[in-house]
C-alpha cells in the first residue's frame, strides 16, 4: 500500500476517499480552494494545502498547483476521485512523470475512452453492441442532413469529448439540426477544448443500465453487477439502484461478462464503468466507458460489501485481482442512492446560500456521504450536490421505504433542495412498478 496519498478533489469525493484511507491507516493530503477553506473536512485534516481561489480552473483544475503539493507533501500516489481531473490523461502522465502512482487506468486507456467516437469503435471491435451513429460531423448542411438521415430521427447531437450530458441535444426534425449542432459544437469547444460532435440514434423510453468493471495488472477483469441509473434530469443521474429491477438476470450477467471480456482484451486496470442503454426489448447498446470511480459506487458497495476505493488503491499499488476480490462474488438485498442537490426542484437550477440548518438522516441501512454542516456555504463554483444518501434493504420495496424515511429525516434550510422531487419519484407508480426510464422526470404527469 502507498505511504501517503494526495486526494486531488473536493467535497463528497474527498471525504469518501479519505474515509477509506483513514481506515487503512494511510496518510493523506487534502487540497482546497479558498471557497472551501471552512468546510469541516478541510479544517479537520491533518495535512492540507490551499491551491487557489474558488473557480475550479484556478484551483482543482490547476495541474501545476496540484503537482507542487504532490512534491512538497511527499506523496507517492494521487487519487483523483470523480470529476475535475479524474479522466484527464495528461494529468495522469504528469503524475507518473513526477514519480507517483495515478489511481486509475493507464493514461492510454483514459485517452481512448475519453473520446466517445474512439471508444465506440474500440468497443464495437471487441464485440459490444453500439447504437447507430455518425462519424465527426462537419458544418456543410447537405452532408449534415445526409448523416442525420443515415442515423435516423429522433437523434442526439453529442460532444465527442463530453460527459455528464453536457451539451447533449435532442433533434426530432431536419430543420432543427444545424442549430443544435452549432450550439453543441460551441459549448464543447468552451467546456472541453474540443468541438468535435457526432450524431447518435436516440432511444425513447430506454433505461440507463451501467456495469461496474474492475481489472488488475495480472490481466484479470471482472464485472461487479450492474446499476440502473434511469432516473435523470438534464441527462444527469439523480437516483441509482442495484440490482436493476424488471430485467432478466441471465441477460444482465451475460452482458457483464461480455463487457469484462472486452476490457480484458484492452488490458484494462482499475475501476471502470460501462454505461449502456437498455431498450424495451431488453437489448443493450453501448454509450460510454468512465475510467474512474463513479458517484454512484456506493450502491455496488452496499450489495457486495466491497470497498471500491480500497480496491482501486490496492490495484494501483500492484495487487492481483484475486487479492482484491473475494473468490465468490455475490450480492445481497437491494440498494438505492439518492443525490440530494441544492437546486430549484422544478427548474433544476442551482440554489446557493448559507446552510442555516443541515441535518442528515441516520438509521439502519442508511449511509450518508456529505462534506457539509450547518453554517457551510453552498457556492456557485461547483456542482451543487449536498449529499449522497445510500440505503440498503432486504428487497426493493424495503429499500424504497428506507429511502423515503431518510428523506423525511433530512432537514435543510437556507437553500432550495430537490428532496421533494426525489420523494415524488420514489412514490410514483412508474418507479414503484419499475416502469421508469431516462425521460421519466420530464414526462408530463409521470410523477403526479
Distance in angstroms (rounded) separating the CA atoms of residues 223 and 193: 33
Distance in angstroms (rounded) separating the CA atoms of residues 358 and 356: 7
Distance in angstroms (rounded) separating the CA atoms of residues 284 and 256: 11
**C-alpha 29 chain-centroid distance:** 23
Active site (annotated) includes residue 10 = no
Listed in sequence order, the residues at least 6 apart from 125 whose beta carbon sits closer than 8 Å to its beta carbon are none
Phi-psi region of 353 (alpha: psi -120 to 50; beta: other; left: phi over 0): left
Distance in angstroms (rounded) separating the CA atoms of residues 439 and 277: 12
Question: Residue ranges of the alpha helices (H) in 222-286?
Answer: 249-264
**C-alpha 387 chain-centroid distance:** 14
In the set 292, 339, 396, 423, the catalytic residue is: 292
CA distances from 372 to 24, 36, 38, 134, 365 (A): 24, 10, 10, 44, 21
| Angle at the Cα of 251 from the Cα atoms of 437 and 308, rounded to 5 degrees | 75
* Strands, E assignment, 177-321: 197-201, 207-215, 221-233, 236-242, 270-278, 284-290
Question: How do strand 377-378 and strand 353-354 relate by DSSP bridges?
Answer: antiparallel
By annotation, the residues acting in catalysis are 292
Amino acid at each position: 500500500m502507498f505511504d501517503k496519498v494526495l486526494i486531488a478533489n473536493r467535497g463528497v469525493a474527498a471525504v469518501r476517499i479519505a474515509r477509506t484511507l483513514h481506515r487503512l491507516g494511510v496518510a493523506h493530503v487534502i487540497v482546497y480552494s479558498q471557497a472551501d477553506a471552512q468546510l469541516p473536512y478541510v479544517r479537520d485534516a491533518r495535512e492540507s494545502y490551499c491551491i487557489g481561489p474558488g473557480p475550479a480552473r484556478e484551483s482543482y483544475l490547476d495541474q501545476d498547483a496540484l503537482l507542487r503539493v504532490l512534491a512538497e507533501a511527499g506523496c507517492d500516489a494521487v487519487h483523483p476521485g470523480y470529476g475535475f481531473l479524474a479522466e484527464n490523461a495528461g494529468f495522469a502522465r504528469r503524475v507518473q512523470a513526477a514519480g507517483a502512482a495515478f489511481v486509475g487506468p493507464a493514461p492510454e486507456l483514459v485517452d481512448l475512452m475519453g473520446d466517445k467516437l474512439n471508444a465506440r469503435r474500440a468497443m464495437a471491435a471487441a464485440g459490444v453492441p453500439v447504437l447507430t451513429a455518425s462519424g465527426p460531423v462537419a458544418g456543410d448542411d447537405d452532408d449534415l442532413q445526409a448523416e442525420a438521415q443515415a442515423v435516423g430521427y429522433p437523434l442526439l447531437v453529442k460532444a465527442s469529448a463530453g460527459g455528464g450530458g453536457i451539451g447533449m441535444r435532442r433533434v426530432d426534425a431536419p430543420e432543427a439540426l444545424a442549430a443544435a449542432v452549432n450550439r453543441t459544437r460551441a459549448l464543447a469547444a468552451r467546456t472541453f477544448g474540443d468541438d468535435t460532435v457526432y450524431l447518435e440514434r436516440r432511444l425513447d423510453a430506454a433505461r440507463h443500465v451501467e456495469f461496474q468493471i474492475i481489472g488488475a495488472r495480472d490481466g484479470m477483469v471482472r464485472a461487479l453487477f450492474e446499476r440502473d441509473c434511469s432516473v435523470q434530469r438534464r441527462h444527469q443521474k439523480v437516483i441509482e439502484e442495484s440490482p436493476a429491477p424488471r430485467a432478466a438476470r441471465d441477460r444482465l450477467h451475460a452482458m457483464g461478462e461480455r463487457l469484462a471480456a472486452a476490457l480484458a482484451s484492452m488490458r484494462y486496470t482499475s475501476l471502470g464503468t460501462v454505461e449502456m442503454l437498455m431498450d424495451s426489448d431488453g437489448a443493450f447498446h453501448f454509450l460510454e466507458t468512465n475510467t474512474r470511480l463513479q458517484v454512484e459506487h456506493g450502491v455496488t458497495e452496499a450489495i457486495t460489501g466491497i470497498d471500491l476505493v480500497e480496491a482501486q488503491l490496492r490495484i494501483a499499488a500492484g495487487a492481483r485481482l484475486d487479492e482484491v476480490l473475494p473468490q465468490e462474488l455475490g450480492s445481497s438485498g437491494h440498494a438505492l442512492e439518492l443525490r440530494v442537490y441544492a437546486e430549484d426542484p422544478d427548474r433544476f437550477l442551482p440554489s446557493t446560500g448559507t446552510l442555516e440548518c443541515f441535518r442528515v438522516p441516520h438509521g439502519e441501512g442508511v449511509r450518508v456521504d456529505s462534506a457539509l454542516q450547518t453554517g457551510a456555504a453552498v457556492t456557485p463554483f461547483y456542482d451543487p450536490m449536498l449529499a449522497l444518501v445510500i440505503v440498503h434493504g432486504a428487497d426493493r420495496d424495503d429499500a424504497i421505504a428506507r429511502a423515503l424515511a431518510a428523506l423525511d429525516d433530512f432537514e435543510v434550510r437556507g437553500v432550495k433542495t430537490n428532496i421533494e422531487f426525489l420523494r415524488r419519484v420514489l412514490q410514483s407508480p412508474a418507479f414503484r412498478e419499475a416502469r421508469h426510464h431516462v425521460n421519466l422526470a420530464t414526462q408530463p404527469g409521470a410523477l403526479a
